[in-house]
Structure 1
């Protein structure tokens, strides 16, 4: 396998930046060298970004051997941020799912033992409201404290700027569990410009945006547009917040979504360029893979 040997680690940025997937056909020459076999995409991705959303676990939990393979392919310093299976978060709504939780935890520990595990995030559906706070509290208190966790809320009553929002924030702070902010404002700023954006606007929620910090790894999932320049003003709003978090000793995580996954690296690169302007002492360059077989052979 043509593993890159001269690049042994993920980018050493003071925050984690990644895409919603690690496998995309349109990333040849951007994330992977051209004609790279799919089996090697993850290895190259982990040398371009230092984190990724593990969305596949939302739909099914792969075997232990699959998780072990992922851990072996990931570069030093890389972190997987897996999503809880929907059988736990949505179907069971955190109740009567002990067997599923045990199975998922056993897989996460494979990644944790390899020192490649970032916060695993529990995305709760729009039907899971503040009336279920006791259920959420019981579930979170039973999670092993040695593993990192994050929670994304989607029911609008969690964002009341009052008692309900304060109570869930207090719970997360007490447990040092990070809160996920889902910012879809860039996506919904104007009507869709293509069929992919139209589909994305149907699927993605519009939850209120917060900058609440409840742990050490505040997580931002931001959904842009296929015309990346339309995201500029929103990134400019986030820039001082992200820099402030870093300067306060936090290590934020940012996932750059675009309706067309092929454009997610460009969105990330725009963010990194803006960060470089605010933190000139840090190299925020997005690593590029070799472009030709001749260049690739030099790394063999």
Structure 2
């Protein structure tokens, strides 16, 4: 996501042609969730334009299409998976991880299907799996079962932390909408690989979002000290201030781990003037 309407004129220049929007976003943040690929595989030329707007060390966490994960549930997916992998090939090293988001109906009984699917994937990519059945988080046997499959495949478990969001009732239209749509996920802060990925959902109130991510400051700093390279995505229900919040999170982590590289200097959203 790099074309949010409320960012235009604030974080991104407006008007800005589509071929420049990602370049502007990449001056604010050095990673992005590739969520649109869940709904349709993009044209290879489109993906090439994404690569052309970003540096080789920019991180795309690209979601595998729903036809693979939700409609066919990881079975008989050779053709749509081949088409998807061919389409994202221009990203090269920017494809930080391919994100396998599974439906809430995916239960521990389905883990053997996931194991078979992961074994069939090419080793040219890293993979990260997001599950939404709370049993995986609350039942130690289910946790161990999934962790075993992921470790064997060198794949990461992506937690979606919604605990801060659901701590108190919603207070805005965007929060009320998210209240009915977002999953209530238990907290998990265990990394399985050297590239952990976290998705965090705060509130539209900045102070409450910052309060809720304090545990992730500690966890992320600890991972960095261990030599891991984490990627953290910060969301709010309206996402209006997400780029600014992401940079604030990075600054808070960097205060704990000073050797962490600074984020790039943002491209001005408004043209510079002489006065």
TM bucket, shorter chain? over 0.9
Cα distance, 1:111–1:280 mapped onto 2, change above 3 Å: closer
Which residues in structure 2 correspond to 1:129-144 (within 5 Å)?
A: 129-144=107-122
Is contact 1:220-1:254 (8 Å) kept? yes
| Kept after mapping to 1: 8 A contact 2:106/2:133 | yes
Root-mean-square deviation (Å):
1.9
Q: Aligned residue pairs: how many?
A: 274
Spell out the pairing of 1:10-21 with structure 2 (5 A cutoff): 21=1
Q: What per-residue deviation string (whole Å, max 9, x for no partner) do you get for residues 208-244 of structure 1?
A: 1111211111110001111111022321111111001
Distance in 1, Cα, partners of 2:248 & 2:164: 14
Aligned to 1:24: 4
The residue that corresponds to 2:24 in the other structure is 44
Equivalent position of 1:89 in the other structure: 69
Write out aligned runs for 1:256-271 (5 A).
256-271=234-249
Higher RCO (CA 8 Å, separation ≥ 6 residues): 1
Q: TM-score, normalised by structure 1?
A: 0.86
Correspondence 1:225 to 2:203: yes
Unaligned ranges ≥5, structure 2: none
1:131 to partner: Cα distance = 0.4
Residue equivalent to 2:33: 53
Unpaired segments ≥5 residues, structure 1? 1-20
Shift of 1:120: 1.1
C-alpha contact (below 8 Å) 1:228/1:266 kept by paired residues: no
Q: 1:192 to 1:286 in 2, by over 3 A?
A: farther
The aligned counterpart of 1:68 is: 48
Match of 2:152 among 174, 178, 181: 174
Deviation (angstroms), 1:280: 3.3
**Aligned pair in 2 of structure 1 residues 221, 91: CA closer, same or farther (>3 Å)?**
same
Are the equivalent residues in 1 in contact too, given 2:154–2:193 (CA < 8 A)?
A: yes
Q: Which residue of the partner structure matches residue 190 of structure 1?
A: 168
The answer to whether the Cα contact below 8 Å between 1:29 and 1:288 also exists between their aligned partners in 2 is: no
